[in-house]
């Protein structure tokens, strides 16, 4: 019996990107991968400029969401290590930076 993927790779990436906007309290959402691609061409550094995670805890929530959601795209037999490796690449390519307000405040004082 062949395992059927619940979602495509493009939908997986789109869902993870939309989740980070949600966790960062931003309004933007992408309905289609094509919409995301168009936005990426207009604003190539969007993932560095649109927002940031306020702290490591929120960033970790996003990473865990992406790892759990990975199995909607890939079969359950794929190891969690491979899922985490894939999510690491996703975070490097499209993840918002993580900023710690406390560190920033101390540097300004």
Mean pLDDT of 81-100: 89
Q: What is the pTM of this model?
A: 0.81
Q: Which of 54-63, 66-75, 93-102 has the lowest mean pLDDT?
A: 93-102
| Average model confidence (pLDDT) across the chain | 86
Closest CA to 83 of 93, 95, 69, 62: 69
Q: What are the structure tokens assigned to 70, written together? A: 């990975």
Domain extents in the chain: 9-108
pLDDT level of residue 104 (50, 70, 90 thresholds): very low
pLDDT bracket for residue 31 (50, 70, 90): very high
Mean pLDDT across the stretch 49-60?
Answer: 88
Do residues 54 and 101 make contact, with C-beta atoms less than 8 angstroms apart? yes
């Amino acid at each position: 019996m062949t395992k059927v993927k619940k979602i495509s790779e493009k939908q997986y990436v789109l869902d993870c990107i939309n989740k980070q906007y949600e966790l960062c309290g931003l309004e933007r959402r992408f309905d289609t991968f094509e919409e995301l691609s168009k936005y990426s061409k207009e604003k190539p550094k969007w993932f560095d400029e649109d927002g940031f995670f306020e702290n490591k805890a929120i960033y970790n929530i996003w990473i865990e969401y992406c790892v759990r959601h990975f199995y909607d795209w890939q079969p359950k037999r794929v190891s969690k290590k491979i899922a985490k490796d894939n999510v690491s690449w996703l975070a490097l390519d499209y993840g918002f930076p993580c900023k710690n307000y406390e560190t920033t405040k101390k540097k300004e004082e």
